[in-house]
Amino acid sequence: MKLTEETVDKMAELAKLEFNSEEKATLLGDMNKILSFMEKLNALDTEGVEPLIYMTDEINALRKDEVVQTLTHDEALKNAPKKDSDYFRVPKVLERG
Amino acid sequence: MKFEDKYEIVIGLEVHAQLQTLSKAFSADSTEFGASPNTCVSVITLGHPGTLPKLNEKVVELAVKLGLATNCQIREVNRFARKNYFYADLPKGYQISQFDTPICYDGYITIKDDAGNAKNIRLERIHLEEDAGKSIHDQDPFDSLIDLNRAGVALVEMVSRPDISSSQEAGLYLTEIRKLVRYLDVCDGNMEEGSLRCDANISVRLKGATELGTKVEVKNMNSIRNVQRAIEFEFQRQCNCLETGETIYQETRNFDAVSGETRSMRSKEMAHDYRYFPEPDLPPLIVSEAYIDKIKSELPELPEALFQKFVKQYGLPEYDAYWITEDKATVAYFLQIIKHTEDYKAAANWMMGKIRSYLNEKGLSIEKFPLGGEKIGELIALVKSGKVSNTVASENIFPALLENPIKSAAVLAEEKNLIQQSDESALSAWVDQVIAKFPEKVAEYKGGKVGLIGMFMGEVMKISGGKADPKVTTRLLKEKLDA
């Protein structure tokens, strides 16, 4: 399978990222490489093999409905690139139009 | 020709209900409503690297409860899935949801119109997911403000089949859901505060057509009335499009409560691509038969069952039964009264009459009503024994009880000298007095205006201070007037 620039545009849109045409070309090359690398796996016969989702056999890992507050407000905001005394601040994210 | 004659509307509703848990779906931070911004958060909610979600057991319990109450199948093997999208109020970049294994499926909710006609609205699924945070766009010219208190709060999404065929049915369906989630203590059902939210999938087609029309999703309706308004608007808009040959786009539209119109959100018409995949951080959830049976045994009596019982067993009119079963607290109070009386209709009358107007006047809910059900039982018994009239009970003793809730109704009636006079000689004297006072009216009565009996009765009541036994008095009046 070969990726096209359209796919790169779509992935960028979904990830809310913007690239110039040079960057796109690099990305397209990289993504195609990754895909062809993964395609090697297609050589394996996976007929009847259940997809592996979980790394353990654990089931029903549940907790009681109890409140444990482990972070303070200041700690929560500490790593934010932009904030005020109450909120995280991000560039306006209104839908365009 | 009216659109209604030519076209029909097809509606499916998606209802999100915030589950009434103390902590969030996958982390232990609080779900408290109205807390200061970004105080009810944790490293899991904030999507910090290396953190692992862990499922709240209460979330499972509430979802299974709701599923059982809506006639759903409950799924044994549940997996969670990641729904991927980028938005600032979703720090992880994905919402944990359920994709191909909704915990409840294939159920239905019965709605009833005013005439009592029942219709089943099928539920395709109820699945578990987490809420996103809140973005505030109108406080700052350049930035959006993000509050993540709500991020991670447990939700169920209830998806109906496209079985709803009018705004009226949509209203009934939502009212029924709100009633149910409140009965079950699954969700507080508050649409204004957003703990119950509704999106509508709406399409229009020629009557009798078998294919569905292009569906439009309408969002942002924060009351049942607004859902109905949006549906009514869309019906007109889409019919207009069909009539004029305009294309109906499959899109998401926002409802504007001020104008009553829906508007296209005009986001690029690229279909959303959520790239669902299994959430490897949460192991599968197995819901056993035994667990389901346990929840089933703990389910409270549901409104429909109570309604049937009140009508069939207690002989209440349907209107009364419906009114009482509107919410759980009202039912609880009714049940409290009828522990102390077998006159179910009288109990209903008290609740729908004096008690309701007292609560309305004071702006109280039934939980805050100061009298216990036994007091209303005493009032009913007092009237039944013939010691006081219904009027005296409601106009004199009921207010006295509210002032003095410790005393019994009977004691208050004695103290206030309100016990009905049924002694014939005393009543006779009053009747004679009234007849003597209105000779002209007596003549009119004898001339055939028998309706005047009411006026004589009123006069006797006046003299007696409301204590005259109405039955005996009527008999005496008739005897004397007809003599």
The verdict on a CB contact (< 8 Å) between B142 and A91 is: yes
Boundaries of domain holding B453: 424-482
Q: Is the same domain home to B190 and B269?
A: yes
What is residue A2's predicted lDDT score, i.e. its pLDDT? 81
The answer to whether B152 and B131 have CB atoms below 8 angstroms apart is yes
Last residue of a domain, one of B415, B433, B461: B415
Q: Is the same domain home to B448 and B395?
A: no
**β pairing state of B196-206 and B154-160:** unpaired
pLDDT in tens, B222-240: 999 999 999 999 999 999 9
Residue A87 with chain B: CB contacts under 8 Å = 37-38, 136, 145-147
pLDDT in tens, B46-91: 999 999 999 999 999 999 999 999 999 999 999 999 999 888 899 9
CATH number of the CATH domain containing B478: 1.10.10.410
Q: Is the same domain home to B323 and B282?
A: no
How many whole angstroms from its chain centre is CA A51? Answer: 20
Residue B39 has pLDDT above 60, yes or no: yes
For residues B82-115, one letter each, b for 16 or more C-beta atoms within 10 angstroms of the residue's C-beta and e for the rest, the string is bbbbeebbbbbebbbbbbebbbbbebbbebeeee
- B106 sits in which H/E element: strand B104-112
Which of left, alpha, beta for B71 (phi over 0: left; psi -120 to 50: alpha)?
Answer: left
pLDDT band at B1; cut points 50, 70, 90:
low
Query: Which residue out of B85, B145, B264 would a mutagenesis test of the A interface target, given it has the greatest number of A Cβ atoms within 10 Å?
Result: B145
Give the other-Cβ count within 10 Å of B285's Cβ: 23
Q: Is the same domain home to B330 and B439?
A: no
* Percent of chain B whose predicted confidence (pLDDT) is above 90: 71
Q: Is the same domain home to B340 and B249?
A: no
- Map residue B26 onto helix, strand or coil: coil
Last residue of a domain, one of B235, B265, B291: B291
Q: Is the same domain home to B378 and B448?
A: no
Portion 343-382 of B in contact with A at CB < 8 A? none
Average pLDDT (A41-51) is 87
Q: Which chain B residue shows the shortest CA-CA distance from A97?
A: B266
- Looking at the complex, does the CB of residue B57 fall below 8 Å from at least one CB of chain A? yes
Last residue of a domain, one of B415, B444, B463: B415
What string of DSSP letters covers B333-395?
A: HHHHHTTS-S-HHHHHHHIIIIIHHHHHHHT--GGG-SS-HHHHHHHHHHHHTTSS-HHHIII
Q: Is the same domain home to B281 and B381?
A: no
Q: How far apart are CA B262 and CA B69, in angstroms?
A: 33
A79 class by beta-carbon count within 10 Å (0-12 exposed, 13-18 middle, 19+ buried):
exposed
Q: Is the same domain home to B347 and B477?
A: no
CA atoms within 13 A on the CB side of B335: 11
ipTM for the assembly: 0.89
Average pLDDT (A19-33) is 93
Closest to B346 (Cα-Cα) out of B385, B307, B309: B385
Q: How many domains does chain B have?
A: 3
Q: Provide the greatest CA pair distance for chain B.
A: 99
How many whole angstroms from its chain centre is CA B83? Answer: 32
What is residue A97's predicted lDDT score, i.e. its pLDDT? 34
* Percent of chain B whose predicted confidence (pLDDT) is above 70: 99
Tell me which of B98-107, B150-159, B314-323, B414-423 is least confident: B414-423
Residue B278 with chain A: CB contacts under 8 Å = 53
* HEC sequence for chain A: CCCCHHHHHHHHHHCCCCCCHHHHHHHHHHHHHHHHHHHHHHHCCCCCCCCCCCCCCCCCCEECCCCCCCCCHHHHHHCCCCECCCCEEEECCCCCC
What is residue B253's predicted lDDT score, i.e. its pLDDT? 94
What is residue A96's predicted lDDT score, i.e. its pLDDT? 43
Query: Which residue out of B20, B21, B22, B23 would a mutagenesis test of the A interface target, given it has the greatest number of A Cβ atoms within 10 Å?
Result: B23
Residue B257 has pLDDT above 60, yes or no: yes
- Looking at the complex, does the CB of residue B433 fall below 8 Å from at least one CB of chain A? no
Q: Is the same domain home to B255 and B396?
A: no
Average pLDDT (B33-40) is 94
Q: Which chain B residue shows the shortest CA-CA distance from A77?
A: B38
What is residue B446's predicted lDDT score, i.e. its pLDDT? 87
- Looking at the complex, does the CB of residue A15 fall below 8 Å from at least one CB of chain B? yes
Which of left, alpha, beta for B338 (phi over 0: left; psi -120 to 50: alpha)?
Answer: alpha
Q: Is the same domain home to B44 and B173?
A: yes
The minimum CA-CA distance between A52 and chain B, rounded to whole Å, is 9
* Percent of chain A whose predicted confidence (pLDDT) is above 70: 94
**β pairing state of A62-63 and B55-56:** parallel
Determine, yes or no, domain membership for B72: yes
The verdict on a CB contact (< 8 Å) between A65 and B56 is: yes
Q: Which residue has the tokens 């309408």?
A: B218
Q: Is the same domain home to B92 and B9?
A: yes
Determine, yes or no, domain membership for B140: yes
pLDDT in tens, B188-220: 999 988 999 999 999 999 998 999 999 999 998
- Looking at the complex, does the CB of residue B98 fall below 8 Å from at least one CB of chain A? no
What are the angstrom distances between the C-alpha of B80 and each of B53, B127, B284, B339? 11, 10, 7, 47
Average pLDDT (B3-11) is 92
What is residue B324's predicted lDDT score, i.e. its pLDDT? 95
CA atoms within 13 A on the CB side of B363: 0
- Looking at the complex, does the CB of residue A78 fall below 8 Å from at least one CB of chain B? no
Q: How far apart are CA B424 and CA B308, in angstroms?
A: 44
Determine, yes or no, domain membership for B296: no
Classify residue B192 by its DSSP letter: T
Q: How far apart are CA B338 and CA B330, in angstroms?
A: 13
Residue B266 has pLDDT above 90, yes or no: no
Residue A86 with chain B: CB contacts under 8 Å = 36-38, 145, 147
Residue B177 has pLDDT above 50, yes or no: yes
Task: Please name each of the domains of chain A with its CATH number.
Answer: 5-42 (1.10.20)
- Looking at the complex, does the CB of residue B138 fall below 8 Å from at least one CB of chain A? no
Portion 17-46 of A in contact with B at CB < 8 A? none
User: Model pTM?
Assistant: 0.84
Question: Number of residue pairs across A and B with CB atoms under 8 Å?
Answer: 137
- Looking at the complex, does the CB of residue A93 fall below 8 Å from at least one CB of chain B? yes
Determine, yes or no, domain membership for B233: yes
Residue B269 has pLDDT above 80, yes or no: no
Residue B30 with chain A: CB contacts under 8 Å = 67, 69
Q: How far apart are CA B176 and CA B13, in angstroms?
A: 13
pLDDT in tens, B120-169: 999 999 999 999 999 999 899 999 999 999 999 999 999 999 999 999 99
The verdict on a CB contact (< 8 Å) between B57 and A65 is: yes
Q: Is the same domain home to B375 and B250?
A: no
- Looking at the complex, does the CB of residue A55 fall below 8 Å from at least one CB of chain B? yes
Nearest to A76 among B41, B58, B86 (CB): B41
Mean pLDDT, chain B, as a whole number? 92
